[in-house]
Amino acid sequence: MKKIHYVLSLAIPLSMLFLFSCQPKDTTQRDHLVFRYNESKGIPSLDPAYARNQTIIWPTHQLFNSLIALDSQLNIVPAIAKSWTVDKRGKKYTFHLRTDVYFHHDVCFPDSSGRKVVAEDVKYSLQRLTDPQIASPGAWILNAVKKIDSFNDSTLTITLHYPFPAFLGLLSMQYASVIPHEAITYYGDAFRAHPVGTGPFRFKYWKEGEKLILRRNKNYFEKDSLGRSLPYLEAIAITFITDKQAEFMEFLKGNLDFISGLNPANKDELITREGHLTPKYKGKVQMQTAPYLNTEYLGFMTDTNLLPYHPIAHERRIRQAVNYGFDRKKMMKYLRNNIGTPANKGFVPLGLPAYDNNALGYTYQPEKARQLLKEAGFPGGRDLPPITLTTTSDYLDLCEYIQHQLAQVGIPIEIEVNTGATYRDRMAHGKLPFFRGSWIADYPDAENYLALFFSENKSPQGPNYTQFSNPQYDELYRKSMREADDKKRMALYRKMNDMISREAVVVPLYYDRVVRFLQPGIEGLPTNPLNLLTLKKARKHEHINR
Cis peptide before 163 (omega within 30 of 0): no
> What is d(CA 102, CA 110) in angstroms, rounded to the nearest whole number?
15
Do 390 and 313 meet the contact criterion of CB atoms below 8 Å apart?
no
The CA-based dihedral angle spanning residues 68, 177, 57, 461, taken in that order and rounded to the nearest 10 degrees: 120
The pLDDT value given to residue 255:
96
The low-confidence residues of the chain, meaning pLDDT below 70, are 1-32, 542-546
Render the burial of 112-140: b for 16+ CB within 10 Å, e for the rest: eebeebbbebbbbbbebbbeeeeebbbbb
The pLDDT value given to residue 320:
98
- Contacts of residue 91, defined as CB under 8 A and 6 or more positions apart, other chains included, come to 146, 159, 160, 161, 162, 163
Do 178 and 60 meet the contact criterion of CB atoms below 8 Å apart?
no
The pLDDT value given to residue 483:
83
- Tell me which CATH homologous superfamily contains domain 292-513: Dipeptide-binding Protein; Domain 3 (3.10.105.10)
Q: In what order do the strands lie in the sheet with 145-152?
A: 81-86, 92-97, 155-160, 145-152
Number of DSSP helices (H) and strands (E) in the chain, helices first: 17, 19
Do 159 and 91 meet the contact criterion of CB atoms below 8 Å apart?
yes
R_g of the chain, CA atoms, integer Å: 24
Do 399 and 389 meet the contact criterion of CB atoms below 8 Å apart?
yes
What tens digit of pLDDT does each residue of 58-90 get?
999 999 999 999 988 888 999 999 999 999 988
Predicted structure pTM score: 0.77
Closest CA to 424 of 80, 44, 119, 146: 44
SS3 239: strand
CB atoms within 10 A of CB 150: 18
Handedness of CA 496, 497, 502, 506 (dihedral sign): positive
> What is d(CA 196, CA 201) in angstroms, rounded to the nearest whole number?
10
> What is d(CA 198, CA 193) in angstroms, rounded to the nearest whole number?
16
Please provide residue 114's backbone torsions phi and psi, each rounded to the nearest 5 degrees.
-80, 150
The domains of the chain are located at 29-253+519-540, 292-513
Same topology between domain 29-253+519-540 and domain 292-513: no
Do 244 and 500 meet the contact criterion of CB atoms below 8 Å apart?
no
The pLDDT value given to residue 392:
93
Render the burial of 451-488: b for 16+ CB within 10 Å, e for the rest: bbbbeebbbbbbbbbbbbebeebbebbeebbebeeeee
Amino acid identity at 5? H
Do 210 and 515 meet the contact criterion of CB atoms below 8 Å apart?
no
Q: Residue 260 is inside which H or E element, if any? A: strand 258-260
- The answer to whether domain 29-253+519-540 has CATH 3.40.190.10 is yes
The pLDDT value given to residue 263:
83
What tens digit of pLDDT does each residue of 448-483 get?
899 999 999 999 888 899 999 999 999 999 999 888
The pLDDT value given to residue 13:
43
The pLDDT value given to residue 421:
84
Which string of DSSP letters, residue by residue, matches 474-499?
Answer: HHHHHHHHT---HHHHHHHHHHHHHH
| CA distances in angstroms from 271 to 181, 354, 394, 396, 530, listed in the order given | 48, 31, 17, 19, 22
> What is d(CA 117, CA 121) in angstroms, rounded to the nearest whole number?
6
SS3 523: strand
Environment class of 209 (CB within 10 Å of its CB; exposed 0-12, middle 13-18, buried 19+): exposed
Cis peptide before 349 (omega within 30 of 0): no
